[in-house]
Amino acid sequence: MTVSVAARPYDFALDPAHAALVVIDMQRDFIEPGGFGDTLGNDVSRLKAIVPTVAALIGLFRKHRLPIIHTREAHRPDLSDCPPAKRLRGAPGLRIGDTGAMGRILIAGEPGNAILPELAPLPGEIAIDKPGKGMFWATGLQERLQGMGITQLVFAGVTTEVCVQTSMREANDRGYDCLLIEDATESYFAAFKTAAIEMIVAQGGIVGWATPYAALAAALEVEHA
């Protein structure tokens, strides 16, 4: 049974029996001072501001016992899965693999690579390390979602125009209906977030739908009333 979620470009028909939440890269390296986002010269407080909404969204899916997938952008300690084309860009204060305030930048198992404690996965929730911007490349996630019977994905996380949008586009190409929670995603650049969302919903939802958290919560509460 589907429920209607008020969304752009038109209402989203959510099927809770086949839907999962994807929380993209809510990691200390991107959100806290001293992490990779900070070393790139970004204002990390913009990302920190969405944490309460992301926490509420996770809580909503837990309440309704719906699947949750958490991703971390992470590389092996020897950087064998981090090509120079990714690592050697621009002039950041620190590069991927360098030692920063929270350990080696974007390296699996380092303190900075961890998901924020208030958003941390619970036992039974899927957590994947992804070496790229998208959540499907070199992760095996597609097979896991197929095994779970998932056909719809609700997205949150950072950053909107990079890892979130990349993952949504990958999911769209694989046949998933995708819904982005607008106030549970953020960019270091306000204009980039706005542009990314407009690209997602353009042309009749060419990549997917977008809605605020309150609209999704209201629809799920009606469904379980």
Residue type, 46: R
- Residue in 29, 38, 82, 130 annotated catalytic: 130
Q: Which of 25, 29, 38, 177 is catalytic?
A: 25
Is 82 considered catalytic here?
no
Structure tokens at 173: 């190409």
Question: In angstroms, rounded to a whole number, what is the distance separating the alpha carbons of residues 189 and 42?
Answer: 9
DSSP label at 164? Answer: I
Catalytic annotation on 11?
no
Residue 111 DSSP label: G
Cα(127)–Cα(43) distance, integer angstroms:
26
56 touches 63 (CB < 8 A): no
Active site residue 130: yes
129 vs 76: CA distance, rounded Å: 10
Residue of 38, 82, 133, 163 marked catalytic: 163
Continuous H helices in 27-73: 28-31, 36-39, 45-48, 51-63
Contact 24, 187 (CB under 8 A): no
Pairing of strands 68-73, 3-5: unpaired
Q: Contact 22/154 with Cβ under 8 angstroms?
A: yes
Active site residues: 25, 130, 163
